[in-house]
Structure 1
């Protein structure tokens, strides 16, 4: 197994939505720090490609596929991990989608799809994993919130509501799970040059607006989220729970 570091040696990290994008970036960072990483995704072919890519680099990596919007499928998937792979030390609820549409025209189907994937899944996966962590009296859960957990932008009502919900669910989970020595925190990315945000980055008008609106005058780079994630997953955050760490280039701090 390749070990670029040892801070997570002997730890098992499960990240939903990690076959690509930010989730896969986080998976590689944890793997480089010595962790056993469990990848997750609904597209089995893409998931296997991601696993093989990390396996070729010598990382200790596994892959599971289940629908995070199906509570029974989630329970079975988590049982499989705990019983056949390894106990989960750190959970990252990262799976998410965005459907851009105006409030007046968004369909119920699109609304429900976003809420189920972005919010319901955090409850389903978090509850299933926390049940095992509670027995061990140890665990860390990191939920992916957003700058839009605090603010709103035109044309993404479901996404905004879902991320606001994840923020408050993070706090609710933290309070209920604190007695079991489980810390629950969130990261709140601003605008990063991710696969999901490529349409925005390619839009010259939006790109110009964003750089003017952001005090640091640029998009974030995915790797700039990783230090915060490692901190929340590590021992340095043992007395920290129910908090959202915003990494946004200063947007929330400015008018």
Structure 2
């Protein structure tokens, strides 16, 4: 259980982030929901979390902005007291073949998916270090393990998250902080809504279906509880066997 702990979840207004926020709230954690733009969705999620009997506050923040992230983390500390758990889930796609990809499409994805995670870890790690405890979960992707045509920017950002995870795990282990990554495959979210059930990519999934956000949330919940105190620097696939 996570009673009394505070979890900061980025990209928490919908999809995987929302599922993780709801799962951690169900285990007793207070939730700081960080979102990019859709205030209505964020407040709707916050209301659902409060209905579970815990505190929830929504914070609008561009995670790619180093200064904005610092301000947001300070606001979270002021409102909720601390941060015990950080889940870096915020992510975007701007797909295109490498020969046609514009520089801003590459930079934009790297800035949100990879630099955003760095910014959050950078500003939350002093809290963890002072407390000599903390859990960090970075949401990577099987694209970062195996690549994906048309997603050079996305795959690079998610591969970068894996390197970031392992480096942070080594740096913070002596302070009692665990840092791990989850690498989802095709999950039923807004980001994958255009992948039809008859898409040839589906034939490469041994379990024969897309995953659910709630399945990612279950793994994230395990990694932030005491039962995972001896797990750090790991990248755990949850992809129906796609990248095995």
2: distance between equivalents of 1:189 and 1:180? 28
The answer for the alignment partner of 2:14 in structure 1 is: 20
Does residue 239 of structure 2 align to residue 239 of structure 1?
A: no
The answer for the alignment partner of 1:3 in structure 2 is: none
The answer for the alignment partner of 1:37 in structure 2 is: 31
1: distance between equivalents of 2:178 and 2:52? 31
Does residue 60 of structure 2 align to residue 73 of structure 1?
A: no
Matches within 5 A, 1:96-115: 96-115=91-110
Q: Secondary structure at the match of 2:73?
A: helix
How far apart are 1:49 and its partner, in Å?
Answer: 2.8
Runs of at least 5 residues in structure 2 that lack an aligned partner in the other structure: none
Runs of at least 5 residues in structure 1 that lack an aligned partner in the other structure: 1-6
Does residue 218 of structure 2 align to residue 227 of structure 1?
A: yes
Q: Which of residues 168, 179, 182 in structure 2 aligns to 1:187?
A: 182
4+ residue stretches of structure 1 with deviation over 4 A?
Answer: none
2: distance between equivalents of 1:249 and 1:68? 30
The answer for the alignment partner of 1:129 in structure 2 is: 124
TM-score, normalised relative to structure 1: 0.91
How far apart are 1:56 and its partner, in Å?
Answer: 4.2
Contact 2:92 2:109 in 1 (8 A): yes
Contact 2:32 2:56 in 1 (8 A): yes
Higher RCO (CA-CA < 8 Å; seq separation 6+): 2
1: distance between equivalents of 2:40 and 2:207? 38
How far apart are 1:110 and its partner, in Å?
Answer: 1.0
Count of residue correspondences: 243
1: distance between equivalents of 2:8 and 2:187? 22
Contact 1:193 1:201 in 2 (8 A): no
Q: Which of residues 205, 211, 214 in structure 2 aligns to 1:214?
A: 205
Q: Secondary structure at the match of 1:188?
A: strand
Contact 1:210 1:218 in 2 (8 A): no
Does residue 153 of structure 2 align to residue 158 of structure 1?
A: yes
How far apart are 1:149 and its partner, in Å?
Answer: 1.5
Does residue 55 of structure 2 align to residue 60 of structure 1?
A: yes
Contact 2:16 2:217 in 1 (8 A): no
TM-score, normalised relative to structure 2: 0.95
Q: Secondary structure at the match of 1:15?
A: strand
How far apart are 1:227 and its partner, in Å?
Answer: 2.1
1: distance between equivalents of 2:139 and 2:106? 19
How far apart are 1:53 and its partner, in Å?
Answer: 3.5
Q: Which of residues 2, 7, 20 in structure 2 aligns to 1:8?
A: 2
